[in-house]
Amino acid sequence: MLELTATPTSGPAIPVTNAMVTVKELVVVATVLPATAIVGQPFNVTYQLNGIASIPLTATGIASGAAGVLSGNGSCTISPLGANNCTVTGLSFSAPGTVTITPSLTFAPGSNVEVISVPFSIDIVLPSYAISVVAPTSATVNAPFNVTLLSTSPVAFDVPLTISVASGSGGVLGGGAGCTILSGQTSCVVTGVTYSAVSNIQLVANTSVGGASFSYERGSISVVAVPVIPPTAAAQPIPTLSAAMIGLLALLLGVGVAVTRRTRL
């Protein structure tokens, strides 16, 4: 509160009425934000004053622009003990687009403070994931093999994926068709995949889920013929003699023995 008094510098004295004028403290507050943030992922905002606070000031951000919801603990307090800023951590926005955050200051009733707010904008973008196919170097025609689908970073939500043949021909992809990378994870495994022909093929993943930007890297696999195992040599049967041949052989042996005895005599 400032009291003003008018005093004539010349001429006769005139009645003077003092005037009371309220002088307010001018406070300029601006938001300091990162240039971009990912949908649903935390970011920080700092509320910066043009000078040192003389009273406690509570800073809050008001979001406008993109259709979505600003979530998190949205306020912090600038202390009058020499501070000129405070930071709110863990804010997030629920949809992509450009969001303008305008600072708002609250203070004790009756405080002589005039506030000028300087807004700042941040671009909220979709998360981006590159999904690659990790396959064995080779597999046999119609024999099952496993394929791993790998994300470059943990996904923010469940991502169901399917696989298909991106290049190569002559056969049909069968068995396991896909798998789901669960929220917070980086991979899943497709089991029991088969291919019905000899070919060099490339497999690629795909998803129909929204809420993110996806790119895909192929995985190569050589499908080879079933190896031919040469047959083992068959065992030769042991020769057998008929009853007549055995009788004849016995007769001959008997004659031979008799002749031998006579010779010795």
Report the CATH number at residue 162: 2.60.40.10
Quote the pTM value. 0.64
Q: How many domains does the chain have?
A: 2
Range in 17-21, 46-50, 197-201 the model is least confident about: 17-21
Q: Quickly state the pLDDT bin for 74 (edges 50, 70, 90).
A: confident
49, 120: one domain: yes
Q: What one-letter code names the amino acid at 162?
A: T
237 pLDDT above the threshold of 90: no
Kind of pairing between the strands at 128-134 and 213-217: parallel
| DSSP code for 50 | S
pLDDT for 244: 67
The answer to whether the beta carbons of residues 76 and 54 sit under 8 Å apart is: no
Last residue of a domain, one of 77, 99, 125: 125
Which is more confidently placed, 240 or 105?
A: 105
Distance CA 233, CA 196 (A): 32
Two structure tokens written together for 134: 């990790």
257 pLDDT above the threshold of 50: no
Domain encompassing residue 192? 128-224
Two structure tokens written together for 206: 């795909």
- DSSP of 137-197: SEEETT--EEEEEEESS--SS-EEEEEEEEE--SS-EES--EEEEPTT--EEEEEEEEE-S
pLDDT for 51: 85
134: in domain: yes
Q: Quickly state the pLDDT bin for 2 (edges 50, 70, 90).
A: very low
If phi > 0 it is left, if psi is from -120 to 50 it is alpha, else beta; for residue 156 that is alpha
Of 152, 158, 157, the C-alpha closest to 186 is 152
Which is more confidently placed, 115 or 181?
A: 181
The answer to whether the beta carbons of residues 222 and 189 sit under 8 Å apart is: no
Average the pLDDT over 167-174 and give the result. Answer: 93
154, 63: one domain: no
pLDDT for 1: 44
Question: Which tens digits make up the pLDDT trace of 19-39?
Answer: 554 556 788 999 999 999 999
118 pLDDT above the threshold of 70: yes
61 pLDDT above the threshold of 60: yes
The answer to whether the beta carbons of residues 219 and 182 sit under 8 Å apart is: no
134 pLDDT above the threshold of 50: yes
Average the pLDDT over 113-125 and give the result. Answer: 93
Distance CA 40, CA 169 (A): 42
Average the pLDDT over 94-111 and give the result. Answer: 91
pLDDT for 259: 46
13: in domain: no
pLDDT for 264: 53
The answer to whether the beta carbons of residues 139 and 226 sit under 8 Å apart is: no
246: in domain: no
Average per-residue pLDDT in the chain?
85
104, 191: one domain: no
164, 97: one domain: no
238 pLDDT above the threshold of 80: no
95: in domain: yes
158 pLDDT above the threshold of 50: yes
